[in-house]
Amino acid sequence: MSAGCTTLDAMTRTIALLGHPVAHSISPAFQQAALDALGVDARYEAWDTPPEDVPAAIERLRDDAVLGANVTVPHKLEALRLADSADAVARRIGAANTLIRRDRSLHATNTDVAGVQRALADAAVDLEGVEAVLIGAGGAARAVVAALRNGGVRSLTVANRTPDRAEALHEVAEEGETPPLELRVCPLDVAPGPLRAALERAALVIHSTPLGMRHGPDEAATPLPADCFSPGQAAFDLVYTPERTPFLLAAGAAGARPIGGLGMLVHQGAESFRLWTGLEPPLEVMFEAARAALEPAS
Ligand code: NAP
């Protein structure tokens, strides 16, 4: 159904965002701007959903008026489990950030992988054959590993506070159709050692923890100080608020090239938009609305 909402009937459609909490999300702002810009009669609504209410919320998504949903922390695993079908990307990541309704069925996918790839492509980061370092090993890191592998990254060193979680990324790095990515795990320790050595070789350094995030656990923190970066290196922070995170400021101070997380956020949303509506997402409108929705002084 292409938007389903052209002139077939007068029903206003719904697209939901399931998460907990969702009050700080800027997805409603840029998704609604995109729907309005293309004249799609639909509302993008944030549904703050505590974990015990997720099954009921998923049932609501089966209604004829619903086009689909985005799913965010902490429900991405549960959404995959409760969906009726899932594509290979969502299964490989082990999490769904997008649900698409087809009749009474919900199909799960994960557009974070495309979000990472397009954000890095926009920033002209060439992934083919390079070495990279990833700090963090949570849900978003799984999408990063899949994206780096799709892009042809040769070798990836992962440092995480909990090493076992980083080890679990081997399954994303080594299974699938594209050539496997050589993945090494090392302690999250910036003293001279394996992480420092990997950082010296890396063309790309990626941060995937909430450190430095506004309203996060430690707004002033960066896992890597400036002397961990080198001139010309690309430094990509998944955190998108503030715009200049402590990680990006440290990278910039060393002459590295800072890339913020807003591009990933908008591109993953744009890919979801395409799947729900069948329409080409208006990227410029989405970026403009996303920037406007970020808190002042970010
Ligand atoms: P997650 O699944 O909860 O994983 C969090 C990760 O951060 C884990 O590796 C965790 O380490 C680490 N961590 C948490 N607190 C830490 C601390 N105080 N010190 C060191 N490491 C710490 O979260 P996620 O979904 O992967 O998201 C990670 C970040 O990416 C968040 O800031 C999120 O906002 C951002 N994100 C951005 C986008 C985008 O579109 N730009 C999309 C998704 C996520 P342990 O394993 O040791 O707990």
For residue range 66-104, list pLDDT tens digits in order. 999 999 999 999 999 999 999 999 999 999 999 999 999
Q: Is the pLDDT of residue 298 over 80?
A: no
The two three-digit tokens of residue 294, written as one number = 């970020």
Q: Specify whether the CB–CB gap between 109 and 89 falls below 8 A.
A: yes
What is the reported pLDDT for 297? 54
* Rounded alpha-carbon distances, angstroms, from residue 156 to 39, 146, 201, 288: 43, 11, 11, 33
250-290 pLDDT per residue, tens: 999 999 999 999 999 999 999 999 999 999 999 999 999 99
The predicted model gives 107-125 an average pLDDT of: 98
Residues 6+ apart with CB under 8 A from 34: 270, 273, 281, 282, 285, 286, 289
Percentage, residues of the chain above pLDDT 70: 96
Residues 6+ apart with CB under 8 A from 51: 20, 74, 75, 78
Give distance in angstroms: CA of 90 to centre of ligand 1: 18
The predicted model gives 190-200 an average pLDDT of: 97
Task: Pick from 113, 206, 208 the residue to mutate for probing ligand 1's pocket: most ligand atoms within 8 Å of its CB.
Answer: 208
The predicted model gives 205-219 an average pLDDT of: 94
The predicted model gives 176-204 an average pLDDT of: 94
Q: Which numbered atom of ligand 1 lies nearest the CA of 188?
A: 20
The predicted model gives 114-132 an average pLDDT of: 98
2-57 pLDDT per residue, tens: 444 444 567 999 999 999 999 989 999 999 999 999 999 999 999 999 999 999 99
Whose CA is closest to 77, among 140, 158, 148, 167? 140
| Ligand 1 pocket, residues with Cβ under 6 angstroms | 73, 112, 115, 136-141, 160-162, 165, 208-211, 213, 217-218, 238-240, 261, 264-265, 268
132 φ, ψ (degrees, to nearest 5): -140, 160
* 76 given a catalytic annotation: yes
